[in-house]
Structure 1
């Protein structure tokens, strides 16, 4: 007798559970029986009895098309002409009241296609097989079930009228691990998901999964509401649990009233799909008049509209200009995608007021993409003021908290409450995004090997970073290592740099080396430019009177430089792009975007690939391309900007793309550590304690008095002669601007409260702008040059793999300073310590280890002295605790220590649960036949718990 549950026993237990959940058992040995059952169930659901000829027409209707076509058929109705000539609109599934359907469970249905196959457990809704469950016995690899379903896809699901092509959701389980996924034959095993509770606690055991996911109403709801038909790729997609809970939370919020809210889902976890489904659910609410999806840049408008239309062809009318947006707002369009800039223009221009009069008091729900960017500022208040029934929801992977706020407002200030959280540690642990592998290259050191402190204000660090010699060294490094990072150019990369000037230097270095035959990388670039840049030749010196302006280089203006780079692009791909006007600029942007994203498709050709996209800021947020796996960084990033940029690399794609590669040519490790810490902590502080409005108003009015003491009115600024007087004016007005920006963030802000009129403020501002460049303020100069001292050779500073172990180590290190004499350092350490414990409570992989880790932090860390590192002390502590737990387990269960150690070693090697006979042999005293099963099961459970606690999830 086997000491483990067989597949047949697993199936029997599942069927009993499903019957307990309300499924009616039915025996359907073959497809003939299934068709007859379908006739009865469809008749029952529609309240009719179908004759042989009528049902033949139904079968013929159901047999048409592929899986995607049949998903549409399932959700539609069939116009059936009955034998007596009367019409009948036959419904296959009630997707509006999804609990009102007929539910059955059957097993071992035999289908004959290329081969005769039998399916494990099938859930029928109105007689159609909509959920197929494939089981493997405990101890077997879950992927075996996934591969088996793929085999059935090829061999038999299409056979005998193709009824099994109506399956919407597949479930695979080996008892201890259970996952689900949509019926999409092209997807990878990584696109299978565990179900989870709302706090992201995974539900992996089959029985618990059945109770939570396969319950009749829930699984029907998933099929009716949370299967997405991706029109562009003609595939089915199903929401992951965190996406489901986010949409449910927004839907409930709208049904309950008009309170706002925001969703914190880490970058790369499928925000577009979540927001689309939220919008789709909301427009079906009869109490909602319009849903407006708002992005913050025109370059995202095209992409987001395209993504939405991918999910449902023609569902979204993208707005090419403000007039089109106004027409949509004033017309019948229910779902609109637009930019915040066009929305702001629409509600502030008098000429649109008449057209928009009808929508002002309608129930308009706004969904803001990456709301940390788009919603801070005046536009938020204008929307609330203009739309009397506005309700606003924000999506962000990187919220604004107290720690990373630039101004005085956090995401919570504007959206009131976080409705659901799915942070970077959740996503990495679930394999829903890739982990990051980060390298830091380029120590700032002298030629004699000594290090140069970048924080010394008297040296010109910017000159070093922008020096052509250094940039050439970085380009050489990329040329030498790019193939390794991108798996021989299977993937693309981005290089982000600090400025347009640096970008031009980089581009020309790549081009120069390509022309010299040093590489064959395809490099393209895009950047924005000012329409009226300063002319470097306008320096006040007397020029050559014989010089003809036509003889000047055509690339003096950065726009001309970009145009020449686009000409290189055209030559490389035989295209005809231009950036001579705004329309051409965004057409070129869209072509770059499409070129990178099209590498995701099976039809992609190597001749169309782009190896490196060179940018300053564009493409670093909101852009997703699965075939982009590497980011080269030569600019300073921090907090949300850093996470957003790094996350361009972490989209899941097959087995080859195992991680997102980030190569930093500056030492961004402290900034990376801070960002990962902040956005892993679900209890991050969301409120900034600021003084009341009246206090800032008083400060502003006092600052006006100080300004007038320097310059009583704007014209008097002209009379300021000395540099000191001009400097005093610049400082006074700068302080005034700062205070006004703070005041504007308050909802009670009123221009009339200020003792300085708006016109006078603007007049002072003009004087300030003109005089500012001519005045030496308290800003330090660029500092001394270090170019002659510095060694430009790149050197690896540090390499990190961002996983749970990294985050834990990072937070542990943050506890330094607990015993500092400086109270500020002690307070900071206390706050960081709290974040450690918050993370231990929220991170699933750490929950089983929480007590031990807290014990280490509280009892052992204070004793770490001398040259002992935190890591080595932790390893010693962990090994000791593991040994102690193993000894206790062996004593309690009467196990031979050596034999039990062998069981653990074998489990680590094979991944399979120990056989019953091996467990019995490890026992000091052999149990009786009646005791054997419970004793073996108890030992195996404790072994798995020991391994889970001490060996898994540490990195």
Structure 2
């Protein structure tokens, strides 16, 4: 039984200084939460001052924070929480008590949804209730290595409640009668909830359980949390809770992506948190390796791409790998066209793991006419959209600027571009359609990649980016529709600013990030990088103090790439739907005093952007 104690004006003497934090919460004698309060009636006593006071305590009273889990700052009306390494920009509100309600703080003009209620009251009741705080400290705090050192990260309210709702939905989908919120000291205490021993908790699908929605149907649902709001960490926390819930009896977690770079990024996040997962994740190197990893009796966190679940020959049936029912498949970006029952991921996955339960995580919404995604994964478990993320400060707003008029095209080219743009962008996600429109794609590539036009684009980007940098230091990304255009635009830019170029991978202000082979043209070779070199470029680009400020890409880094200093994206490539939404979200990350991200349009994506945002 835990001992809970809240102490007002707790006196601490350290280095000949006496300090009295307003409230310290102790659990079993350990000071886990420090709260600093300011008088709401005083104009000088602000929320930011409470945060600053906590930073002073950190410097002066290190002993008080040896076991610290959370810091809370409040002026009575508004409240924010963070960790020992959180900057002011990462101190977040807690806007719900039950996970079903939503409140807005007095005086917070950015928040528009929810009933008015003091933020401190909501945070105390919604986060600091003993059972919830215990769950939070055990399951929702983790660490991450960064260029600045070790970061301590804590879940936001939308992550906490989504993960717990997803766990409950997963238990139901597995056909398990067990309390998702139960806290167990060990597996022995949960024997009664064990669904994998005869008569213990297995679903009676012919009895009363059949009336429970989704019970034993192996479709846990979809978590839609907008890009930049912590989807990767939510997936990590979810996997950890599924693994640690005794009723799941040491499950196997299979994490699926549809691209190798996304697989590597997620694998890196999970690998860095193997203590939270209680095991070391493994990455399937081949189909044979995947099959071997899945033929285990229990346990395991396995990463793979969907391509490894496709048989060698089209039309073949994938062999069954395991009949166990405590296998959970987590699909990243669960709206992709590959997730279908005809000859796609879902069919082969069901053949390989017929009793597994599926759950999807996505940063963009499922389109209303997308029936296949719901058939595979089920309905929404949790929604955290762009508006809420901006209101909470989880992301920054994205602004749009058209520069299309500045780049001259003759009238015939303009008319052709207007007529064909929609059809060509639609082909991006559909390989068959893309082949049918190959000649149109080629013509558009020639139009956008014309030497005279690229010179104009280069001049405009250089001028625009330099003006942006005078106002707000940060990073920029240019998106082109082909590798040829990437290379030639680079040459046009460095012709204007020769000092931006450097042959050394560790030097230079601008770089192209792309893959290729020895058969590519000779003048491309200096821009073709292997994985180790791309990792160096990623590290440099994420570092706000590194001189690398501008990158040119075609497909690399447009999904799953997190670079908070990035504030401007120049788009010169036809894009729409999920691809467009994922790309522009690269600029929405919170960073210091960044007020927002900017998308600069050189190709006419305005209508596509409106459609994507309207879903």
TM range (shorter): 0.7 to 0.9
Q: Any conservation in 2 of the 1:301–1:339 contact (CA below 8 Å)?
A: yes
Superposition CA RMSD, Å? 3.3
Task: Pick one of 627, 636, 651 that aligns with 2:589.
Answer: 651
* 1:477 paired residue number: 460
Q: Any conservation in 1 of the 2:95–2:103 contact (CA below 8 Å)?
A: yes
* 1:127 paired residue number: 29
Task: Pick one of 551, 564, 571 that aligns with 2:526.
Answer: 564
Looking at structure 1, the residues matched to 317 and 223 of structure 2 have their Cα atoms a distance apart, in angstroms, of 35
* 1:626 paired residue number: 564
DSSP-derived class of the 1:443 partner: helix
Q: Which moved more, 1:145-154 or 1:382-391?
A: 382-391
Q: Any conservation in 2 of the 1:194–1:203 contact (CA below 8 Å)?
A: no
* 1:143 paired residue number: 48
Q: Any conservation in 1 of the 2:494–2:500 contact (CA below 8 Å)?
A: no
Structure 2 vs 1, CA of residues 374 and 134 (structure 1 numbering), >3 Å: closer, same or farther? farther
Cα offset, 1:500, TM superposition: 2.8
* 2:68 paired residue number: 167
Cα offset, 1:196, TM superposition: 2.2
DSSP-derived class of the 1:145 partner: helix
DSSP-derived class of the 2:22 partner: strand
Task: Pick one of 177, 202, 223 that aligns with 2:137.
Answer: 223
CA-to-aligned-CA distance 1:127-170 (integer Å, 9 cap, x gap): 221122111111431111111010000011x2xxx254222112
Cα offset, 1:440, TM superposition: 0.5
Cα offset, 1:400, TM superposition: 2.9
Task: Pick one of 60, 65, 68 that aligns with 1:155.
Answer: 60
Structure 2 vs 1, CA of residues 559 and 593 (structure 1 numbering), >3 Å: closer, same or farther? farther
Task: Pick one of 589, 598, 605 that aligns with 1:668.
Answer: 605
Looking at structure 1, the residues matched to 151 and 444 of structure 2 have their Cα atoms a distance apart, in angstroms, of 52
Report 1:732-751 matches (<5 A).
none
Report 1:358-373 matches (<5 A).
359-373=322-336
Q: Any conservation in 2 of the 1:231–1:311 contact (CA below 8 Å)?
A: no
* 2:229 paired residue number: 269
Structure 2 vs 1, CA of residues 446 and 612 (structure 1 numbering), >3 Å: closer, same or farther? closer
* 1:246 paired residue number: 162
Looking at structure 2, the residues matched to 210 and 386 of structure 1 have their Cα atoms a distance apart, in angstroms, of 46
Cα offset, 1:428, TM superposition: 1.0
CA-to-aligned-CA distance 1:228-266 (integer Å, 9 cap, x gap): 243675443211011011101111012223332000100
Looking at structure 1, the residues matched to 595 and 420 of structure 2 have their Cα atoms a distance apart, in angstroms, of 41
Cα offset, 1:348, TM superposition: 9.6
* 1:590 paired residue number: 535
CA-to-aligned-CA distance 1:30-68 (integer Å, 9 cap, x gap): xxxxxxxxxxxxxxxxxxxxxxxxxxxxxxxxxxxxxxx
> TM-score normalised to the size of structure 2?
0.76
Cα offset, 1:369, TM superposition: 1.2
DSSP-derived class of the 1:614 partner: strand
Looking at structure 2, the residues matched to 214 and 660 of structure 1 have their Cα atoms a distance apart, in angstroms, of 34
CA-to-aligned-CA distance 1:386-435 (integer Å, 9 cap, x gap): 21211111111112313xx6xx6453233221000000011111111011
Cα offset, 1:217, TM superposition: 1.3
Is it true that 1:319 corresponds to 2:306 in the alignment?
no
DSSP-derived class of the 1:109 partner: coil
Q: Any conservation in 1 of the 2:494–2:501 contact (CA below 8 Å)?
A: no
Cα offset, 1:619, TM superposition: 1.4
Cα offset, 1:671, TM superposition: 2.1
Is it true that 1:524 corresponds to 2:511 in the alignment?
yes
Looking at structure 1, the residues matched to 485 and 227 of structure 2 have their Cα atoms a distance apart, in angstroms, of 28
Is it true that 1:434 corresponds to 2:339 in the alignment?
no
Looking at structure 2, the residues matched to 104 and 478 of structure 1 have their Cα atoms a distance apart, in angstroms, of 58
Looking at structure 2, the residues matched to 257 and 342 of structure 1 have their Cα atoms a distance apart, in angstroms, of 25
Q: Any conservation in 1 of the 2:318–2:352 contact (CA below 8 Å)?
A: no
DSSP-derived class of the 1:373 partner: coil
Structure 2 vs 1, CA of residues 309 and 242 (structure 1 numbering), >3 Å: closer, same or farther? same
Cα offset, 1:345, TM superposition: 5.2
Cα offset, 1:349, TM superposition: 12
* 1:635 paired residue number: 573
Q: Which moved more, 1:265-274 or 1:305-314?
A: 305-314
Unaligned runs of 5+ in 2: 106-117, 175-218, 422-439, 503-507
Report 1:284-363 matches (<5 A).
284-286=244-246, 287=248, 288-312=250-274, 315-331=280-296, 334-344=300-310, 357=321, 359-363=322-326
DSSP-derived class of the 1:667 partner: coil
DSSP-derived class of the 2:418 partner: coil
Looking at structure 1, the residues matched to 254 and 2 of structure 2 have their Cα atoms a distance apart, in angstroms, of 34
Report 1:482-493 matches (<5 A).
482-486=465-469, 490-493=473-476
Structure 2 vs 1, CA of residues 142 and 484 (structure 1 numbering), >3 Å: closer, same or farther? same
DSSP-derived class of the 2:376 partner: helix
Looking at structure 2, the residues matched to 167 and 218 of structure 1 have their Cα atoms a distance apart, in angstroms, of 17
DSSP-derived class of the 2:405 partner: coil
Cα offset, 1:437, TM superposition: 2.3
DSSP-derived class of the 1:384 partner: helix
Q: Any conservation in 1 of the 2:331–2:361 contact (CA below 8 Å)?
A: yes
CA-to-aligned-CA distance 1:183-212 (integer Å, 9 cap, x gap): x2x321121121123357236413343222
More strand by share: 2
Q: How many residues align?
A: 515
* 1:783 paired residue number: none
Q: Which moved more, 1:361-370 or 1:310-319?
A: 310-319
Cα offset, 1:519, TM superposition: 7.6
Cα offset, 1:481, TM superposition: 2.5
Q: Any conservation in 2 of the 1:296–1:374 contact (CA below 8 Å)?
A: no
Cα offset, 1:644, TM superposition: 0.8
Task: Pick one of 454, 471, 479 that aligns with 1:496.
Answer: 479
Q: Any conservation in 2 of the 1:295–1:374 contact (CA below 8 Å)?
A: no
Looking at structure 2, the residues matched to 495 and 474 of structure 1 have their Cα atoms a distance apart, in angstroms, of 11
Looking at structure 2, the residues matched to 177 and 248 of structure 1 have their Cα atoms a distance apart, in angstroms, of 26
Task: Pick one of 534, 550, 573 that aligns with 1:612.
Answer: 550
CA-to-aligned-CA distance 1:682-724 (integer Å, 9 cap, x gap): xxxxxxxxxxxxxxxxxxxxxxxxxxxxxxxxxxxxxxxxxxx
Q: Indicate the structure (1 or 2) with the bigger Cα radius of gyration.
A: 1
Report 1:451-462 matches (<5 A).
453=415, 454-455=417-418
Task: Pick one of 61, 78, 86 that aligns with 1:187.
Answer: 86
Structure 2 vs 1, CA of residues 445 and 138 (structure 1 numbering), >3 Å: closer, same or farther? closer
Cα offset, 1:587, TM superposition: 3.7
Structure 2 vs 1, CA of residues 261 and 450 (structure 1 numbering), >3 Å: closer, same or farther? closer
Q: Any conservation in 2 of the 1:400–1:410 contact (CA below 8 Å)?
A: no
Looking at structure 1, the residues matched to 20 and 167 of structure 2 have their Cα atoms a distance apart, in angstroms, of 40
Q: Any conservation in 1 of the 2:9–2:22 contact (CA below 8 Å)?
A: yes
Structure 2 vs 1, CA of residues 200 and 640 (structure 1 numbering), >3 Å: closer, same or farther? farther
Looking at structure 2, the residues matched to 217 and 291 of structure 1 have their Cα atoms a distance apart, in angstroms, of 27
CA-to-aligned-CA distance 1:896-944 (integer Å, 9 cap, x gap): xxxxxxxxxxxxxxxxxxxxxxxxxxxxxxxxxxxxxxxxxxxxxxxxx
Structure 2 vs 1, CA of residues 438 and 351 (structure 1 numbering), >3 Å: closer, same or farther? closer
Q: Any conservation in 2 of the 1:444–1:452 contact (CA below 8 Å)?
A: no
Q: Which moved more, 1:645-654 or 1:218-227?
A: 218-227
> TM-score normalised to the size of structure 1?
0.50
DSSP-derived class of the 1:380 partner: helix
Cα offset, 1:456, TM superposition: 5.5
Q: Which moved more, 1:195-204 or 1:289-298?
A: 195-204
Structure 2 vs 1, CA of residues 210 and 506 (structure 1 numbering), >3 Å: closer, same or farther? same
Unaligned runs of 5+ in 1: 1-99, 532-554, 567-576, 578-584, 679-955
Looking at structure 2, the residues matched to 116 and 132 of structure 1 have their Cα atoms a distance apart, in angstroms, of 16
Cα offset, 1:318, TM superposition: 2.8
Q: Any conservation in 2 of the 1:301–1:337 contact (CA below 8 Å)?
A: yes
Q: Which moved more, 1:104-113 or 1:284-293?
A: 284-293
DSSP-derived class of the 1:372 partner: coil
DSSP-derived class of the 1:260 partner: strand
DSSP-derived class of the 1:376 partner: coil
Q: Any conservation in 1 of the 2:501–2:509 contact (CA below 8 Å)?
A: no
Q: Any conservation in 2 of the 1:360–1:388 contact (CA below 8 Å)?
A: yes
